[in-house]
Each structure stands twice: as structure tokens, then as C-alpha cells.
Amino acid sequence: MVSKKLLANRFLVIPFLLIFFVNFPLSVEAETNSDEVQQTGNFELYKTTQDVTVGNISIKKSTYIYGEEKEDGVRIQYGEIYKPIPVELVEKVETGEEVPGYFNLEVAEKELFKKESSFYSSIGAENPSVSTLEDIEYPLYQDEEGNDVIYIGNIAFFYEEKEDIVMTEDDSSKTTGGETETTTTEEQLT
């Protein structure tokens, strides 16, 4: 008889607990260091006046970044935190220039990038604007077109993976009706 009461009470308690937790969600708050929260404020566009190292990433001269001037320098977005760079290494950009857009970021999964990985800005993309100094885990996003990008200073930099593939022209070319058709093959380097 005692065991039947315990069994009946268990079946009553479990639904009660489920209803309680569904109706009253738990909220968890964590106190974070000011470097670990996305800051709000007056972000302005800057251009680097020389090569700048932030963490394990090198930002080339004349690269655009958004930042906020503080007492310890210009704080820029680096991964999921903000890091200061000396104010002498950047200059404010006038709005008359062609400038990249500012992006608000959400948390993304981190990807491992090898040493000397290159990233290109949407403006002046002939040469890499950013490169890694060491192997680094960094958040990787996809833009509207599905391209892999990272964000530094709230600006998108396109990732170009180094491929060990060389395109070679096949010896057989066909001519049909005055047009030349060339086929290519990929050879894997070892």
C-alpha cells in the first residue's frame, strides 16, 4: 500500500514540475568583463596608417576598420571581443571616400585558420588586407552571397583558402566553326 502511494505521487509530481518549468523559464545571467561584451557607442571609420598587429592577426596599412576612441586607444572588434590599438596607428576617414559597411555581429562558430591565411577587403581586394601570424581559431561567417568572411573592426574580410591545385591547359584543343575550345584539367600538387 505504501508503494502504491509513492508511485501515485511520482506521477503527480512529474507533470507538475514540467508545467512549472515550461511556464517559468529559467534565466541565467553571467557577469562579464567589459572586453567580452559587444560595446555600443559612437563607432567611427578609421584607416590604418601602418601595419597593425591585433592578437594573432596582422592588419595591413590603409585597411578600413570601425572603432571607438577610448582612453586606451581605438577599440576595434576582434572576434567576439574588443581590443584597443594605439590611436597613432589609425586616422579617421572622411565620409566622402568609398567606405565599407558596418556590420553588427552575432556569435558564430570558430574555424581554425593556418598561419599566413589571407583575407581580402571588399574595397581594394587585389592584395590581402589581413593575414594570420599564427594558427588561430576565429569566428567564420557567411555573407549574403555565401562567401566565407571574417570580421575585424566590424568590416567583412573575404577568406581565400590556399589551394594546392594548378590549372593546366590540355594538349587537345578542338576547333569547330572558327571557335577554339580549350579544355583544362586540374592536377594535385604533392
- 148's enclosing H/E stretch is strand 148-152
Neighbours of 116 (CB within 10 A): 13
Q: Are strands 130-132 and 64-70 parallel, antiparallel or unpaired?
A: unpaired
pTM of the model: 0.60
| Tens-place pLDDT, residues 110-162 | 999 999 999 998 776 677 899 999 999 999 988 888 888 899 998 889 987 65
Mean per-residue pLDDT, 62-82: 92
For 178: left if phi > 0, alpha if psi spans -120 to 50, otherwise beta; the answer is left
The reported pLDDT for the residue numbered 18 is 53
Distances (CA, A) of 149 to 18, 118, 139: 42, 11, 9
**Lowest model confidence (mean pLDDT) among 52-61, 66-75, 95-104:** 95-104
Q: Compute the residue count for the chain.
A: 190
